[in-house]
Amino acid sequence: MDLFSECLNFTQYVNHIRYLIYNMNNKNIVSAVTIMVIASVLILASTTIMTNMPKAFATTEAFVATLAGDKEVPPVDTNATGSAGFSQPHLSNMSFGIQVNDIEKVTAAHIHQGKEGQNGPVIVTLFKADNDTGTGLVNGQLVGGSIINDMLEGALAGKAVEVDLIKAIQDGEAYVNVHTTDNPDGAIRGQIVAGGAR
């Protein structure tokens, strides 16, 4: 092969490389633009979904109940007080904690279904003492944990925490009741209300 042919082949080779680089860059540009368009569409779609999503599912709700004897039906004369807090960090369960003060012989704590001023059936058992005599004097946390679907009972048996229990709370139809041996129907009670997003 003569020098001219070799130079021609080299020139063709260089031009071929340039062509490949040019096309590769164009493909990369097209790919980048495509990715940007898809990302923009996804961001717009997620913003629209979050805007139109019901409040209960758009944010993690927190609920509270202030417990006192005068909220029982009929009222109970006691110095005992307490509070309960509920959150919904995951749709499959709801975490909770109950703090009490100056109360003894606690046998159980439940969520009952019922409006303020009304007594109703148990829909969740939050605490049950190991014996019939109940606890000793409690000043502090009585119980804490998570409510899962299998814990729902009564009218909510077989239903879902994230739908049915939340609905009962939001409708003002759920209250916490702490029971003692001296007050088996309830010593302190409080309606569960929205406490703000956490």
Do residues 188 and 98 share a domain?
yes
Do residues 66 and 96 share a domain?
yes
Measured from the Cβ of residue 38, the count of other Cβ atoms closer than 10 Å reads 10
How many separate domains does the chain show? 2
Cα separation, 41 vs 194, whole angstroms: 35
Do residues 69 and 147 share a domain?
yes
DSSP classification of residue 152: B
The secondary element (H helix, E strand) that includes residue 110 is strand 106-113
DSSP classification of residue 165: I
Do residues 61 and 33 share a domain?
no
Do residues 95 and 7 share a domain?
no
Enclosing domain of residue 1: 1-52
pLDDT per residue, tens digit, the chain (198 aa), is 544 444 445 556 546 555 655 665 555 554 544 555 454 544 444 444 444 434 444 444 589 999 999 999 999 999 999 999 999 757 778 999 999 999 999 999 999 999 999 999 999 999 999 999 999 999 999 999 999 999 999 999 999 999 999 999 999 999 999 999 999 999 999 999 998 643
Residues 141, 97 contacting (CB under 8 angstroms): yes
